[in-house]
Amino acid sequence: MAAVIEGPDAAITHTATGKVLTNRWLALLLIVLVAILNYADRFLMAGLAQPIKQHFAIGDAMMGALMGPAFALLYTVFAVPIARLADRRSRVLIIAAGCAVWSFFTLLSGMATSPMMLALARVGVGIGEAAYQAPAAALIAAYFPLEQRGRAFALLGTAIYFGQMAGLAGGPAIAAASDWRTAFHTLGIVGLIVAGATWLIVREPARALPAAPAAPSRAPALSMQATMRLLLGTPTVRHLAALMALGTLSGITFGMWGPALFERAYALTNQQAGATFVFTFGLPGLAGMLGFGFLADRLGRDDPAFQLRLSALALGGTTTCILAVTWAPSLMLARVLAVPAGLLGGGWSVAVLTGLQYLLPNAHRATGTALVLLITGLFATVLGPVVAGQFSDWVAGTGAHGLRIGLSVAIPTAYLGVWAALRAARGLEADRQALAAQA
């Protein structure tokens, strides 16, 4: 039995074998749980940066490498071929298998006896996490119609903040009660359980059918090389990639090094710094994420490009605020500035995901999303934490001043992302039609 759809952006209601899909909100809940573990694992390294540094006697540059390249290099390399597979095979299986793989390597991270062993475990985590974001975005697009995708992606985006809370506050709390290794073991076990539940409960939707009857002789599917040329040759894809990469470089660098900055600048313990940072930014960010999604759905209903213009405004505002937080002379001022930073920064990336799902034809959704994430990973996740850590070592060793200099180099790159968002908004509709004609 074919999926029941009313047009190219309608949600699918059945599996390929005719079974009714899992309730879309239950499916979203499980996808969000997987995402929380995804981000919790990334931020756990940041939350435990000081204990890990002290245990292995390493500097900021090496710690930045563990938080960035060790995880992100193979994450970015594997993301596109896995997404290509997700455009043709079960997205649910790929997501659940990826969660199981990264959770296993998270367990191994807690068993590392040297920085090299920890780096190798983080490489394994990166390979597993490559199977998550692009397939999850395509799966949500299949479960939810166009008019509900903004809120669906906003709810997915809340995983960033719950993941931060788990990694930056929960991890140090577990470490204080036991040690830093126990935090990795706990997260790994929970991840294996959630991976199994996702595979058992969420049903794979049927692939969307064309809105009009297909021609008798259908053109063969594009090769990977041809697909990459098509996507990279589309200006709006390039602009969305630049927006995501530059905005993420700014935000992820601040998010990874922020707890260490709070610990050094305001004389907090590791546990206090993680909890203070995550709740100071996390709660406003959570509200901003949800608010952006619902506002974008309401105001952008008749103009999908509106979400990108809203994203440009939010990204510019939050970048200014986190720069101010970086140099705040007191913890009280940093907390005050965190409110607008979180509210504005909470949702800007939602527009990238919704914009991509609107722009890309169904046959290229996971692959196109992965391509954008590949560029983001290579540019942002790999470079950002390392650049900030290296500048910190160059300027002032382990002090707060050096870290502030490093962050001030990385954070302003997001202003170029604002420009990219406005360019993407301008060409969104024309490029959507061009891609649809070539799909």
Domain boundaries, the chain: 24-206+225-438
Is the per-residue pLDDT at 312 higher than 90?
Answer: yes
What average pLDDT score do residues 141-165 get?
A: 81
Q: Which stretches within 216-330 are classed as H helix?
A: 224-232, 235-265, 270-299, 306-326
Q: What is the pLDDT of residue 22?
A: 74
Residue 205: pLDDT band (50, 70, 90) is: confident
Write down the pLDDT at residue 324.
95
- Work out the percent of the chain whose per-residue pLDDT is above 90: 23
Q: Rounded to whole angstroms, how far apart are CA atoms 120 and 122?
A: 5
Using the CB atoms, write b or e for 287-305: b if 16+ within 10 Å.
bbbbebbebbbeebeeebb
In this predicted structure, the answer to whether residue 215 has a pLDDT above a threshold of 50 is: no
Quick one: tokens of 224? 């990977």
Highest mean pLDDT among 55-64, 71-80, 131-140: 131-140
Enclosing H/E stretch for 37: helix 24-47
Strand partners, 14: 20
Which of the following CATH numbers is that of domain 24-206+225-438: 1.20.1250.20, 3.20.10.10, 3.90.550.10, 1.10.10.10? 1.20.1250.20
Select from 187, 138, 180 the least CA-distant residue to 166: 187
Distance CA 77, CA 376 (A): 12
Q: What is the pLDDT of residue 300?
A: 65
Nearest residue to 79 via CA among 349, 355, 356, 368: 368
pLDDT at 17 over 80: no
Closest CA to 46 of 226, 259, 349, 298: 259
Query: Within its chain, how far is the Cα of 290 from the centroid?
Result: 16
Q: Which of 206-210, 288-292, 358-362, 418-422 has the highest mean pLDDT?
A: 418-422
| pTM of the predicted model as reported, rounded to 2 decimal places | 0.67
The whole-number average pLDDT for the span 149-178 is: 84
The torsion angles phi and psi of 208, rounded to 5 degrees, stand at -65, 140
2, pLDDT greater than 70: no
The residue-averaged pLDDT of 4-24 equals 56
- Give the C-alpha separation, 158 to 434, whole Å: 33
Is the CB of residue 54 less than 8 Å from the CB of residue 175? no
Predicted local distance difference test score (pLDDT) of residue 19: 62
CA angle at 94 for the pair 26 and 247, rounded to the nearest 5°: 80
Give 399 or 325, the one with higher predicted confidence.
Answer: 325
Q: Where are the alpha helices (DSSP H) in 300-382?
A: 306-326, 331-345, 348-359, 365-376
- Residue 7 CA to residue 370 CA, distance in Å, equals 24
- Distance between CA atoms of 416 and 248, rounded to whole angstroms? 12
